[in-house]
């Protein structure tokens, strides 16, 4: 028999909160494949694959509505979503490497007591702006996760915390 996970177990496995998983179910984005006799949400391996797609698309900066239309509409295969993630990561690495190169160049110019041109600073500032944009998106996602955790803490129902669904 293939493994099944309750919502609490899936939350621990994925790093998401129970509240987030319930919300995804409520909006029809990510629902469990089954329910136990006692009403617990049960997720299988196919559900995990679908959740990975959802999280990958979210990481790419898509809204939940956009993700829902993609996942439900079947516009992308899991391979295409992973490929998109790879491309995004490569772009982030490229931007960071370019920023590093610009910073090292300006630093070397300063160490050598050479003048740093307006063009040098402009290139540096442009790369910092691109890098900052990526950091802001990542920071926003982190804050959303922290707010979810806070919401879970404030919404604790003693009966539900023992059931894990």
Q: Which pLDDT tens digit goes with each residue over 76-123?
A: 677 877 787 788 889 889 988 998 998 999 899 989 999 888 888 888
C-beta of residue 66 within 8 angstroms of C-beta of residue 57: yes
C-beta of residue 48 within 8 angstroms of C-beta of residue 37: no
Q: Tell whether pTM > 0.85.
A: no
Q: In what order do the strands lie in the sheet with 5-6?
A: 5-6, 41-43, 34-35
CA distance 24 to 47: 12
Place of tokens 């609490």: 8
C-beta of residue 59 within 8 angstroms of C-beta of residue 88: yes
The pLDDT score that the predictor gives to residue 138 is: 58
What are the residues facing 35 on neighbouring strands? 41
CA distance 132 to 26: 34
Band (pLDDT 50/70/90 cuts) for residue 147 is low
CA distance 129 to 99: 10
CA distance 68 to 50: 11
Q: Identify which has the larger pLDDT, 95 or 154.
A: 95
Q: How far is CA 4 from CA 74, 83, 159, 160, in A?
A: 24, 28, 22, 19
Residue 7: is it exposed, middle or buried by C-beta count within 10 angstroms (0-12/13-18/19+)? buried
């Amino acid at each position: 028999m293939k493994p099944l996970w309750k919502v609490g177990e899936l939350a621990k496995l994925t790093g998401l909160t129970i509240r987030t998983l319930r919300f995804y179910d409520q909006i029809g984005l990510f629902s469990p494949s089954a329910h136990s006799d006692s009403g617990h949400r049960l997720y299988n391996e196919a559900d995990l694959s679908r959740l990975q797609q959802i999280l990958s698309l979210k990481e790419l900066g898509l809204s939940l509505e956009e993700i829902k239309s993609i996942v439900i509409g079947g516009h992308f295969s899991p391979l295409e979503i992973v490929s998109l993630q790879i491309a995004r990561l490569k772009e982030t690495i490229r931007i960071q490497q370019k920023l590093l190169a610009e910073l090292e160049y300006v630093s070397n110019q300063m160490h050598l007591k050479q003048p740093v041109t307006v063009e040098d600073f402009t290139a540096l500032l442009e790369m910092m702006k691109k890098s900052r944009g990526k950091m802001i998106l990542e920071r926003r996602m982190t804050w959303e996760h922290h707010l979810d955790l806070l919401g879970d803490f404030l919404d604790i129902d003693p009966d539900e915390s023992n059931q894990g669904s």
